[in-house]
Chain A
Amino acid sequence: EVQLLESGGGLVQPGGSLRLSCAASAFTFSSYAMGWVRQAPGKGLEWVSTISGSGGSTYYADSVKGRFTISRDTSRNPLYLQMNSLRAEDTAVYYCAKLGSGWAFSPIDYWGQGTLVTVSS
């Protein structure tokens, strides 16, 4: 069964950095696009970033562009999200997401359980 396990969340001060990781199993990692979706406490879902299966194409929400970087090593796990210049509004549960194909414009067919990022002084 497909499993996605996020790690790296925690408490960080405004302006700080954090790197999230997502370890994937039970599917051919390099064949599928991957992404990150976040959910602020008590709020709805917000797409953050997507990377194609080959790693050659990346996409970002305007709210994180220039501050967050998604990456993957196509030959091995995991998926990463490097988050810099963090703001209070970045506080959320961050979900790792597997997309349904190698193309970045695919539905999310599997989700991790999420890792909480709290940005506060």
Chain B
Amino acid sequence: EIVLTQSPGTLSLSPGEGATLSCRASQSVSSSYLAWYQQKPGQAPRLLIYGASSRATGIPDRFSGGGSGTDFTLTISRLEPEDFAVYYCQQYGSSPLTFGGGTKVEIK
């Protein structure tokens, strides 16, 4: 099983600032089958990034993903008020599919 470790657990930032979230895998993720999801309180998650770096339909270009192998990042270039949420990475290249524990981006 591929274990995904996200850091930091919580990120306290102000609107307009940039954010970098990390997702580290216990072993290499096949073909960069790594996705990022955003979840707001009381809502279902939403797909942001797939294939490590491809933005999903309708996702603003301030969101970008990068990395390969075992180290991946999600970058939010300038935080908008609606970006404060919890972010999860997921590997979907091998079974069992696994999620990271999440990073909460909160308003400072």
Instruction: Give bound CA distance, A108 to B34, whole Å.
Output: 11
Q: Is the pair B98, A47 in contact by a Cβ cutoff of 8 Å?
A: yes
Segment of B11-19, B39-47, B67-75 engaged in the interface with chain A: B39-47
Q: Is the pair A44, B44 in contact by a Cβ cutoff of 8 Å?
A: no
Q: Is the pair B44, A111 in contact by a Cβ cutoff of 8 Å?
A: yes
B35 — nearest CB in chain A belongs to which residue? Answer: A107
Closest 9 CB pairs of A and B: A111-B44, A107-B50, A107-B35, A47-B97, A45-B99, A59-B95, A44-B102, A44-B101, A61-B96
Which listed residue (B39, B46, B47, B99) contacts A46, Cβ 8 A? B99
Does B92 reach chain A (CB closer than 8 Å)?
A: yes
Q: Given known contacts A46-B99, A47-B98, is B50 in contact with A111 (CB within 8 Å)?
A: no
Does B88 reach chain A (CB closer than 8 Å)?
A: yes
Q: Is the pair B90, A95 in contact by a Cβ cutoff of 8 Å?
A: no
Taking beta carbons and an 8 Å cutoff, which residues of A are in contact with B?
37, 44-47, 50, 59-62, 95, 100, 104-114
Instruction: Give bound CA distance, A59 to B96, whole Å.
Output: 7
Taking beta carbons and an 8 Å cutoff, which residues of B are in contact with A?
1, 33, 35, 37, 39, 44-47, 50-51, 56-57, 88, 90, 92-102
Instruction: Give bound CA distance, A57 to B94, whole Å.
Output: 13
Q: Given known contacts A44-B88, A112-B44, is B99 in contact with A105 (CB within 8 Å)?
A: no
Q: Is the pair B92, A107 in contact by a Cβ cutoff of 8 Å?
A: yes
Q: Which residues of A contact B88 (CB under 8 A)?
A: 44-45
Instruction: Give bound CA distance, A62 to B98, whole Å.
Output: 11
Q: Is the pair B47, A107 in contact by a Cβ cutoff of 8 Å?
A: yes
Q: Which residues of A contact B37 (CB under 8 A)?
A: 45, 108
A97 nearest CB across to chain B (Å): 9
Instruction: Give bound CA distance, A21 to B92, whole Å.
Output: 23
B88 nearest CB across to chain A (Å): 5
Interface pairs (26), CB distance under 8 Å: A37-B99, A44-B101, A45-B39, A45-B45, A45-B88, A47-B90, A47-B96, A47-B97, A47-B98, A50-B97, A59-B95, A59-B96, A61-B96, A95-B44, A100-B50, A105-B93, A105-B94, A106-B92, A107-B56, A108-B35, A108-B37, A108-B90, A109-B47, A109-B57, A111-B46, A114-B44
